[in-house]
Amino acid sequence: MAIFTNSETKLVVQGITGRDGSFHTKQMMEYGTAVVAGVTPGKGGQNFPGPDGQKVPIFNSMDQAVAETGANASVIFVPPAFAAGAIMEAADSGVSLVVAITEGVPVLDMARAHAFARDRKVRVLGPNCPGLISVGGAKIGILPGSIVTSRSSRSMSSSTPRAIPAVANSSVPPGSRAQSGLICPALAKASRPVGASSTP
């Protein structure tokens, strides 16, 4: 979704040294995303080994990472108990987009984190989201880059297991005109005009 991310995106990965963070950081870099920094408290000064010999500097805090690299987006791969704090730290650091992949974040924690980010005019996607992809631009999160092609469609989902096959199955050859797709059943129901039939 190029309205949120594109080739100008400079990404910080919070939780870059964890199992999920390290795996998906390599995937994002292989897709072409400019991962400019990682944040893991206590591991500042180290480098994360990316694909093709690339190295990503690791910082102890988001403030340091943004100040040193000019990052403008963050993706979060930290345990649920720390995710809301990571979102607020990112929002306070000056980035404009925070994508929270972590699932199982307590609702009250997220209510505080979203309010904190909103007050700073920072967009938060998630938690428990698969992320987003701008074809040929950047991939933030866990969606496989191989399932998307350049086209006019946009997809939304509240579920990663639903999102991946839906996006893959709606892929069309470049140059073809595609219908916009809304693939979250709850959103589809909510967006239907009053009195409209639930059957196509």
Question: How do residues 81-124 score in pLDDT, each as one tens digit?
Answer: 999 999 999 999 999 999 999 999 999 999 999 999 999 999 99
- Report the predicted TM-score, pTM, of the whole model to 2 decimal places: 0.78
Q: How far is CA 159 from the centre of its chain?
A: 14
Q: Contact 4/96 with Cβ under 8 angstroms?
A: no
Compute, in degrees rounded to 10, the torsion defined by CA atoms 167, 161, 91, 112: 130
Domain region containing 125: 10-140
Identify whether residues 36 and 128 lie together within a single domain.
yes
Q: State the first-to-last Cα distance of the chain, in angstroms, to the nearest integer.
A: 26
Is residue 41 included in any domain, yes or no?
Answer: yes
Identify whether residues 39 and 76 lie together within a single domain.
yes
Closest by Cα among 124, 126, 129 to 161: 129
**Confidence band of 185 (pLDDT split at 50, 70, 90):** very low
Is residue 30 included in any domain, yes or no?
Answer: yes
Closest by Cα among 156, 159, 163, 160 to 187: 156
Is residue 1 included in any domain, yes or no?
Answer: no
Token pair for residue 71? 């990052």
- Bridge partners (DSSP) of residue 49 are 55
Q: How far apart are CA 139 and CA 130, in angstroms?
A: 10
Is residue 5 included in any domain, yes or no?
Answer: no
40 φ/ψ sector (left φ>0, alpha ψ -120 to 50, else beta): beta
Q: How far apart are CA 37 and CA 154, in angstroms?
A: 29
Identify whether residues 110 and 186 lie together within a single domain.
no
Closest by Cα among 138, 23, 136, 27 to 74: 138
Is residue 180 included in any domain, yes or no?
Answer: yes
Question: How do residues 123-170 score in pLDDT, each as one tens digit?
Answer: 999 999 888 888 878 899 998 887 776 654 555 555 556 566 656 655
Q: Which long-range contacts (CB under 8 A, 24 or more apart) does 163-171 make?
A: 163/130, 164/130, 167/143, 171/147
